Amino acid sequence: MHDTGRQYPVTLTDDQWRERLTAAEYQVLRKGGTERAFTGEYWDDHTEGVYACRACDAVLFRSAEKFDSHCGWPSFWAPMAGDRVEYIEDTTLGMRRVEVRCAACGSHLGHVFEGEGYDTPTDQRFCINSISIRREATDS
């Protein structure tokens, strides 16, 4: 994962993150890994609620902005607010992408893509690892 040098509101030591997260969560959230497509618990989930960062519980996305992209990961066309996530240029694996991180703790969430032609209100697909988020029910 790229070090931005930024101070986050939620800051823990590497050992504290390892204690808080499972090994798989740590690999994705703190080391920038990716879960395999079609394996996460939310890729095909249509339950209403909000999605919070699994590392720090900051609320990031809503089910109202979730859509079926058929890519194997949960997809959202926008975060709850622009300041809930941060964007980092990612040139790993020989391609240019934009990494999405939690703005509260700096944990890796996934990537955002543009220009794919989805019928959504924005031209963006936030491709988020299920293991990076936790769905919470909202009051109806």
The mean pLDDT value for 90-105 works out to: 88
What is the CATH number that goes with domain 14-136?
2.170.150.20
56 in catalytic set: no
Model-level pTM greater than 0.75? yes
pLDDT of residue 95: 79
Sequential DSSP letters for the chain: -----PPPSS---HHHHHHHS-HHHHHHHTT---PPTT-STTTT----SEEEETTT--EEEEGGGEE---SSS-EESS-SSGGGEEEEEE-GGGS-EEEEEETTT--EEEEEEE-S--SSSSSEEEEE-GGGEEEE----
- Work out whether strand 50-53 and strand 133-136 pair parallel, antiparallel, or are unpaired: antiparallel
Asked whether residue 4 carries a pLDDT value surpassing 70, the answer given is no
Active-site residue identified among 53, 56, 102, 127 = 127
pLDDT digits (tens, 9 = 90+) for 5-48: 678 999 999 999 999 999 999 999 999 999 999 999 999 999 99
Quick one: average pLDDT of 40-66? Answer: 95
Domain residue extents for the chain: 14-136
